[in-house]
Amino acid sequence: MNRTERLYRIDDLLTQRKVVTVETFLDELEISRATFKRDLEYLRDRLQAPIIWDRDAGGYRYEQLPASKKFELPGLWFNASEIHALLTMQQLLGSLSPGLLTPHIEPLMARLRMLLDSEGIPATDIEKRIRIQKLHARPYEPQHFIPIANAVLQRKRIAIEHHSKFDGKQTSREISPQRLTHYRENWYLDAWCHLREEIRSFSLDAILAVTPTEKNAKEVTAKVLKEVLDAGYGIYSGKNVQWAELAFTPERAKWISKETWHPEQQGWYAEDGTYHLKVPYSDERELCADILRHVPEVRVVGADGLKKRILALLHEGIKRQDAQ
């Protein structure tokens, strides 16, 4: 019986029998007194198990706690998604600048370290041996995040200075924040723009200044947000949705058939072994970038406008590569 099994068994005995003697633990677990003491200390110190010695009853038991503080033994190892979530939380918390959550971060970090260390493997070793790489993240002004998040939650408008990457212009806008989206390692603010009188998605790295206001935010329903922002491909919005069909070679199909490009996507294998993927899009920019990543093992089926755009980008790329 390894330590994980012993810890669960100790918890079971205390839960079922209420009071358990040392001799019962030693017999049931088939361990020495010293090993039992180490396990007990681990449960108490690392997992915050409220185990106390009851002198009158002559054994150990769980301390009676309010229902809101009821103790449950956490999972002592994690599947892929769980350890990814824990390590990502650690990295996100560790990268936070001083702000609203500062007094609460260290206790949470300690709890995460405890969970990662619950199998007897130091959390530092896990972080060293399991990597989570973040690519293509664009830096934004950290002091802007708190007023933006507050405005989203408190349903207040904010005034922003916005720099457009497409035309280089800077504009002053008043917006009604609707939600924050973390997408491909970057933060976006989905909002009603009172300057343009429509829903827009603003990358936080393009926001140069934020000024809170006391004005109530204009409310946009979740249905409308989904129709405008979530129907198309990627982060770009638009109601005029088209469908693109992509055909991947049998070699690339092994990977693409397992990937999610869009929640509403459709995929199937053709008789020749190619994998066909259909995705909706309203703005072709991000879709084109993803298609080009798979050249030459992908082709656009139908969708003449999209096909022409891909060909134009390929020709332009060749010209730039050939330029002296």
Residue 223: count of CB within 10 angstroms of its CB: 8
Pair 86, 59 in one domain: no
**183 versus 127: which is more confidently predicted?**
183
* Range of the structural domain that residue 111 is part of: 80-129
pLDDT band for position 140 (50/70/90)? confident
Q: Does the structure show a pLDDT above 80 at 148?
A: yes
Q: Does the structure show a pLDDT above 70 at 109?
A: no
SS3 content of the chain, % helix, strand, coil (to 5): 40, 25, 35
Residue 284 resides in a domain: yes
**Bridge partner residues of 159 (DSSP):** 174, 211
Pair 260, 284 in one domain: yes
Tokens linked to 115: 């969970």
CATH number at residue 33: 1.10.10.10
What DSSP string runs through 85-133? HHHHHHHHHHHPPSSTTHHHHHHHHHHHHHHHTTTSS-HHHHHHHS---
**CA distances for 93 relative to 109, 281, 283, angstroms:** 7, 34, 34
pLDDT for 78 equals: 54
**d(C-alpha 58, C-alpha 175), whole Å:** 66
Residue 42 resides in a domain: yes
Q: Does the structure show a pLDDT above 60 at 272?
A: yes
CATH number at residue 302: 3.30.70
**CA distances for 183 relative to 69, 80, 111, 136, 285, angstroms:** 35, 20, 27, 11, 16
Average pLDDT of span 103-109: 59
Q: Does the structure show a pLDDT above 60 at 26?
A: yes
Pair 153, 194 in one domain: yes
Pair 26, 63 in one domain: yes
**CA distances for 14 relative to 11, 46, 155, 251, angstroms:** 5, 18, 47, 55
Instruction: Please give the model's pTM, rounded to 2 decimal places.
Output: 0.64
- Structural domains counted in the chain: 4
Which of 190, 205, 230 is the C-terminal boundary of a domain?
230
Q: What percent of the chain has pLDDT over 70?
A: 80
Residue 308's SS3 state is helix
- Could you read off the pLDDT of 238-268 as tens digits, one per residue? 778 999 999 999 999 999 999 999 999 999 9
Residue 62 resides in a domain: yes
pLDDT for 38 equals: 92
- Could you read off the pLDDT of 57-81 as tens digits, one per residue? 999 999 987 776 777 776 555 555 6
| Owner of token pair 């012993």 | 6
pLDDT for 74 equals: 63
Range with the lowest mean pLDDT among 5-19, 168-182, 258-272? 5-19
Which of 69, 90, 106 is the C-terminal boundary of a domain?
69
pLDDT for 126 equals: 62
Pair 146, 226 in one domain: yes
Q: What is the DSSP letter of 270?
A: -
Pair 146, 220 in one domain: yes
Pair 160, 221 in one domain: yes
CATH number at residue 170: 2.30.30.520
Residue 277 resides in a domain: yes
pLDDT band for position 287 (50/70/90)? very high
Pair 198, 146 in one domain: yes
Average pLDDT of span 141-151: 88
Residue 237 resides in a domain: no
Pair 153, 225 in one domain: yes
Pair 249, 313 in one domain: yes
Average model confidence (pLDDT) across the chain: 85
